[in-house]
Structure 1
Amino acid sequence: MTLKDKRIEWKARYDAWKESGQSISEWRREKEIKTHQMYYWVQQFREHGKTSIKKSASRETQWLTVQMGDSPLVPPHEKEPIFIHVGSISIEVRSGTDMNLLSDIIHVLGK
């Protein structure tokens, strides 16, 4: 069982305990869970406030809106490429790039 799987399992237990209204001792005794295990995971979820599942969901792509004027900032013949980093992959984007193709590539790499 991976750590992610354990966190999912223990998050479900933690939520069930919270909803039960019972003390930790009562609930864990009823479920035959070891004291140290229960307290360890309760501490993990209280300290972090979120599970790794919620954290990974918050790692979705975030976009920034950029507003530009009509005049180019750099003359066309002096434009340098920009680099887009997706994980450990870098993409060099030059002037005139097919934006639909670039969008498709970034979408595939983001999976």
Structure 2
Amino acid sequence: MSVGKIPESRSSQINSFKESGLSIPEWCKENNVKTSTLRYWLNKIKTEENSRSNEEGWVTIAVNNSLETKVSPIVIKVGPFSVEIQPGFDRSTLTEVIAAIHGVC
């Protein structure tokens, strides 16, 4: 039963209690209502309001655990030449390139 489906008489009693500023026993005595009845309806409303706020307040977030790490290349400068080396480079190719640059300089 949702808060909107509470019988009108109960709804008006609950509003009357909340507006009265009286304690539960005082209000129940003045209005000829059992304290257990009032507590039941107050708890029912509170539970349903909490349930609704939880449904509205929680969002599922998908998290991608794979971290992309950007690795900057290494730049080797020899005279007017520069060689950019990326991760996973081929050593023999680098050695040949450096030798060729060294031969020109």
Same fold, TM-score > 0.5, yes or no: no
State which structure, 1 or 2, has the greater radius of gyration over its C-alpha atoms.
2
Q: TM (normalized to structure 1)?
A: 0.37
- Greater share of helix: 2
Q: State TM-score, norm by structure 2.
A: 0.39
